[in-house]
Structure 1
Amino acid sequence: MNDSTQWRWLNEPATWRLEADRLTVVTDANTDFWQETWYGFRRQSGHVYGCDISGDFTFELKVEGDFTELYDQAGLMLMLDERCWLKAAIEFNDSQPMISSVLTNPSSDWAPGIFPGDAGCFWLRLTLKAGSLRLQYSTDGLHWPLLRLCAFPSEKRYFVGAMCCTPERQGLAVTFSEMRVSAASDKTLHDLS
């Protein structure tokens, strides 16, 4: 994590620990982020350990967890406010861990897909640049396929960080590491490094 950046909790969980740049979290009961679509409810109770950032940037992290129950999820989150945000995660759905993203502005969409690697250990990278959001995932920390490319409002300040939720239970243990915020990547869209 960047030493000069002030990190803080949105919905701090009862159990967590930060040691040597490794954040371990155990989710509280019935936590989630969702706005209206299909289910009709609004939830803003998931856990995010993040920081405020200005301008264009890239955020990257490694996630380790054992996803076994419906909607268990952990990954990253980018937020303007309760009505405009993006989360990306491994999420347990249809009896398997899947890679997914949810864009909310102001209602939530959900885009799950088959994850080709070991869902117990993966990486996510988000680049926000000139009103465009590029979301990538990795199974090895070296090769970064595109997960999502979309517009995202240009604002002066964002909240970005490590996210986890368990809408149907409590007790998912997740470890986040290699969290870093840097200048926005200038790599071309099909450069997967």
Structure 2
Amino acid sequence: MSAGSIAWTQGRWTHEPIAAVEDGADLVVTAAEGSDAWRITSYGFVHASEHALLAPFTQDTAVEVEFTAAFSQQFDQAGVFVRIDDEHWVKAGVEYADGQPQVGAVVTDGRSDWSVAPVPEWLDRRVLVRVSRSGDALTVRAAVDGGELRLVRVVPFPPEARAEAGPLICAPTRPGLAVRFHAWRTTAADAALH
């Protein structure tokens, strides 16, 4: 990815959403009911029906996605998806779980894990998720309404891997989830972890 904004038309969908409509500079995406990404752990199932709009994600770059976290149903989610292949991927962003928005990540290396932290004040607000790729790691950060980025997760990630990344939306439990994405861009990777 070269630095700067990425046009919505530059990506390819892992699974086509119900709709993806440009509205000015924004992209409004409607998810299919039951869409999700998860592998095995705790639940025993594999879900590989996420809607992720992906473009190449090279070493020493960062991808940023901004969206409005207008969620109301269990597991409504949006953020960034980073994919190597079907069994090696990361999703990071905001997910509505147990009655409130949670910022977190799912890291999948054959099997998925999940980490979240409650951010009830982020509901219906503009969220930025940034994933930097540098060395042997991804660094996930997030912010709300232009505020300071906070560290969400540091993830082992093979430097030689060919990967793709971009906006993600899933609606595991209901029809009709539409998310307004405001920006998709790439920049240099973060210079330091701290």
Tell me the TM-score normalised to structure 1 length.
0.91
- Letter aligned with residue 86 of structure 1: V
* Secondary structure of the structure 2 residue equivalent to 1:124: strand
**1:159 corresponds to:** 164
1:141 maps to 2:146 = yes
Pick aligned residue for 2:56 from 52, 58, 63: 52
Runs of at least 5 residues in structure 1 that lack an aligned partner in the other structure: none
Pick aligned residue for 2:131 from 109, 113, 126: 126
Contact 2:15 2:50 survives alignment (8 Å): yes
Deviation at 1:19, TM superposition (A): 4.0
Deviation at 1:130, TM superposition (A): 0.9
Pick aligned residue for 1:72 from 76, 87, 95: 76
Runs of at least 5 residues in structure 2 that lack an aligned partner in the other structure: none
CA distance in 1, matches of 2:183, 2:29: 15
Tell me the TM-score normalised to structure 2 length.
0.90
Pick aligned residue for 1:41 from 40, 45, 54: 45
* Secondary structure of the structure 1 residue equivalent to 2:43: coil
CA distance in 1, matches of 2:47, 2:29: 20
CA distance in 2, matches of 1:34, 1:61: 21
Structure 1 residues 189 and 117: CA distance shift in structure 2, 3 A = farther
- Letter aligned with residue 185 of structure 1: D
CA distance in 2, matches of 1:132, 1:60: 16
Structure 1 residues 28 and 162: CA distance shift in structure 2, 3 A = same
Pick aligned residue for 1:13 from 12, 17, 29: 17
- Letter aligned with residue 81 of structure 2: M
* Secondary structure of the structure 2 residue equivalent to 1:163: strand
* Secondary structure of the structure 2 residue equivalent to 1:31: coil
Contact 1:6 1:52 survives alignment (8 Å): no
* Secondary structure of the structure 2 residue equivalent to 1:171: coil
Contact 2:79 2:93 survives alignment (8 Å): yes
RMSD value over aligned CA atoms? 1.6
Deviation at 1:116, TM superposition (A): 5.7
How many residue pairs match? The answer is 188
Structure 1 residues 157 and 137: CA distance shift in structure 2, 3 A = same
**1:107 corresponds to:** 111
- Letter aligned with residue 74 of structure 1: A
Deviation at 1:47, TM superposition (A): 0.3
1:94 maps to 2:91 = no
Moved more, 62-71 or 99-108: 62-71
Deviation at 1:181, TM superposition (A): 1.2
CA distance in 2, matches of 1:102, 1:180: 21
Identity over aligned pairs, percent = 32
